Amino acid sequence: MTTQQAERTTFHPFRDMIDPQVEQPIETANIQPDRRRYQRYARRLPCTLVTHAGEHAATCLDVGYGGIRLSTRDTVEVDKGSRVAACVKLGVSRFEDWFTVADARVTDGGTTLHLRL
C-alpha cells in the first residue's frame, strides 16, 4: 500500500454506520418502542460538531436513520431549527452529514443535541 492510498479518506453519510442485520436498537424503560419512527443504535464515538460558532469536540451517543444524538463537554449555543454538521472518523472512513437541530439542552456538564437528517 502506498502512502497516498493510506492517507485517502472515504466519505460516507451517517446512515452507513448502521447495519440492521447486526445492530440491536437501544431499549430503555422510559422509551416506548413504537414512539419512534426510526430505531436508534448505541454508539460512543468521538465526533466533531460544526456550528456557526466553530468546531466543538463531541461524542456521538446514538445513530438512527432519522438522525443522531450527541453530547459536548462545552456549552454550545444553537437554536432549534439551525443547520449544523457532524463528522466521525473510523479508520480511513469518514462519516459526515448536515443536520437540523431538533433539540439542544445545555447543562452544567455540557450540551446534548438531537440532530435530524
Ordered by start, the domain boundaries in the chain are 3-116
Average pLDDT, rounded, for the chain: 79
Q: What is the pLDDT of residues 20-77, one digit of tens each?
A: 544 444 455 454 454 556 678 888 999 999 999 999 999 999 988 888 999 999 999 9
pLDDT at 54: 94
> Any idea what the Cα angle at residue 103 is, between residues 68 and 52, rounded to 5°?
85
Query: What's 3-116's CATH class?
Result: mainly beta
Strand partners, 106: 111
Asked if pLDDT for residue 117 goes beyond 80, the answer is yes
Higher per-residue pLDDT: 11 or 16:
16
Q: Which residue has the higher pLDDT, 30 or 106?
A: 106
Joined grid coordinates for residue 18? 448502521
Return d(Cα 63, Cα 74) in angstroms, integer. 21
Output the pLDDT for position 12: 63
- Name the residue type at position 106: V
Helix, strand, or coil here: 3?
helix
Neighbours of 98 (CB within 10 A): 12
Q: Is the pLDDT of residue 10 over 60?
A: no
- Asked if residues 24 and 41 have their Cβ atoms less than 8 Å apart, the reply is yes
